[in-house]
Chains A and B, each alone.
Chain A
Amino acid sequence: MEQKIAVAVDDLTVAYNYKPVLWDIDLSIPEGVLMAIVGPNGAGKSTLIKSILGIIDPIAGSVAVYGKPYKKQRDKVAYVPQKGSVDWDFPTTALDVVMMGTYGALGWIKRPGAKQKKQALEALEKVGMLAFKGRQISQLSGGQQQRIFLARALVQNAAIYFMDEPFQGVDATTEIAIINILKELRKAGKTVIVVHHDLQTVPEYFDWVTFLNVKHIATGPVKDIFNDDNLTKTYGINYKVAVQK
């Protein structure tokens, strides 16, 4: 079966100061997969997503989305940042944050109207947060804040979703709710790329996986490549301790 390539990363190298964080990454992600990016702390997982999205300037390399440079394809890509990356005490409501997902399509200066509000409300409903639409965001629990971020990305109605640790600090119910939404996205033909920490749930949640530790180690279907060999290459000989907890 010939699959379209959703995201192609070519020779990507990123460094903070002198130390390379990502070294010569080549990666192609086929359309329609639900993919985990795994690797130890400091492996450059978040950096990979951020440099694909142009938030971090790479030293070298290029990123193509459906064959064209990412900058021309922004409307096809949605992003869920780490929950801790923003100040949740900002004076705004849940609905307002979700509305931000419509800003990209609106462009400069134009204001969101009834149509955008409707989209935002629909997304809130999808993540089970409609009842909290008027809530000040600091008064939401960690799991609820994560759902708000997810809703904001859903509003973008993109083809490709990048998520940075969406399961971090959420309870078991929220984790199930989120993974169900991700699986729905895949069913709808979207490509979902998730920075993930819990190795145990990889086979259960995802169908593709990328192993990363500064260098790219392997990418492929979970059933083919999620094995001792790649885990050892990524985490070192002691990875089993991490898996078994």
Chain B
Amino acid sequence: MELIDFFTDYTLRTITLGTAVLGAICGMLGSFAVLRKQSLLGDAISHAALPGIALAFLFTGLKDSNVLLLGALISGFIGTVWIRGIVTKTHLKTDTALGLILSLFFGFGELVLSYLKKQPDANQAGLDKYLFGQAATLVQSDVIVMIIVTGISLVVMLLFWKEFKLLLFDKNYAMTLGFNTRFIDGLISFFIVLAIVIGLQTVGVVLMSAMLLAPAAAARQWTNSLGTMVILAAVFGTFSGVFGTGISASYNNLSTGPVIVLVAAVFVGVSFIFSPSRGVLFKQIRLIRNRRDLELKKTLYFMYGIVEKHEDISRPHSIKILNGFQGFTRGTLKTLSDKSWITIKGQDWSLTEEGFQTAANLYNTNMPES
């Protein structure tokens, strides 16, 4: 597999375009799922789609992906409605409802699939691809469907941007402003289900939720703006699709879905560690820096306490009298003198005018505004 094949190989180009578009729509709508704290809903919906695929084939005998995905869409929806029903009508919590529906539907789907496998004609072969996905089976018409769905959800998202944001942040308040929150909620759910369903052929029911959540979770690390988050998630999703397809095409036998999901996971990992404001790495660095700074200022303040009692602030004092104070090291003394807050002569130190002023104003900065 050479790089040049990427641009000349028709099949590969179709697949790459498909996974890229899929990554984009999943990242975009996944952001809403994450912010709605319904990350697991995606998992339940994708598993709930499996019986729809199996039954669609059982009844129609067709293997056309559009027919099967329509079945997936319907059973995905039934699953979503049942989850809601369980949560509102019983005392069970959302996680229980999700777990119940997920395994119930998935189990039923597997049952129908195993029944189909026992049939004498081999026509049903290939339905298995919906479990883990098989990007290689994407054809141009599939990609066109993906592009159309992505286009529609983009337009709807832009139209209802304000309403989506309001609902996600404060649903009750949205109600008092006169917005039909059930409609907005339903609209978001509808498009999330749609995104999941069109991804089933490529990524499969088992891994689909990662496709939805990983780009969004990664994007959340880098920004504090909803708009930027959605765009970034779409970009991460697109790159996951393109890189994943590229890698799996370079190693002949790797299936595309898992590779795409792993690439997305790399985005998540890198974001968790390296994001400047929320990343683990910089948080740790900031923590250490702040502690050092605090240590330094405490030492300075301790010196200030000694110096304050004398009239001449520049009077030298022995370093030994600092020994009783915890947190002071040779290093601290050196840093203090580098900042020209103190001067060191032999075994004595003395505060400079600047150091005296700094120490005097150290803890006056935490007054409330206004």
Instruction: Give the B-binding residues of A (Cβ under 8 A).
Output: 50, 53-55, 71, 74-75, 77-79, 81, 85-87, 90-93, 96-97, 100, 103-104, 106, 108-112, 128, 131, 136, 152, 171, 173, 177
Contact = CB atoms under 8 A, between A and B. Distances in A.
A50 B172 CA distance: 9
A100 B370 contact: no
Nearest to B172: A55
B176 A100 contact: no
A21 to B, nearest CB: 16
A158 to B, nearest CB: 10
Contacts, number: 84
Given A131-B369, A173-B368, A100 B170 contact: yes
B159 interface: yes
A84 B220 CA distance: 22
B309 interface: no
15 contacts: A71-B178, A74-B177, A79-B172, A79-B173, A79-B176, A86-B170, A91-B223, A91-B228, A92-B169, A92-B225, A100-B169, A103-B163, A103-B177, A103-B179, A131-B369
Nearest to A70: B176
Interface string B21-54: 0000000000000010100000000000000000
Interface residues of B, number: 30
Contacts of A104: 176-179
Contacts of B169: 86-87, 90, 92, 97, 100
A110 B162 CA distance: 8
- List 3 A-B pairs, minimum CB-CB distance, nearest first: A104-B177, A136-B224, A79-B176
B115 interface: no
A179 to B, nearest CB: 15
Contact of B162 (A55, A75, A77, A112): A112
A92 B226 contact: yes
Contact of B226 (A87, A91, A111): A91
Residue of B160, B162, B169, B177 with highest tally of chain A CB at under 10 A: B177
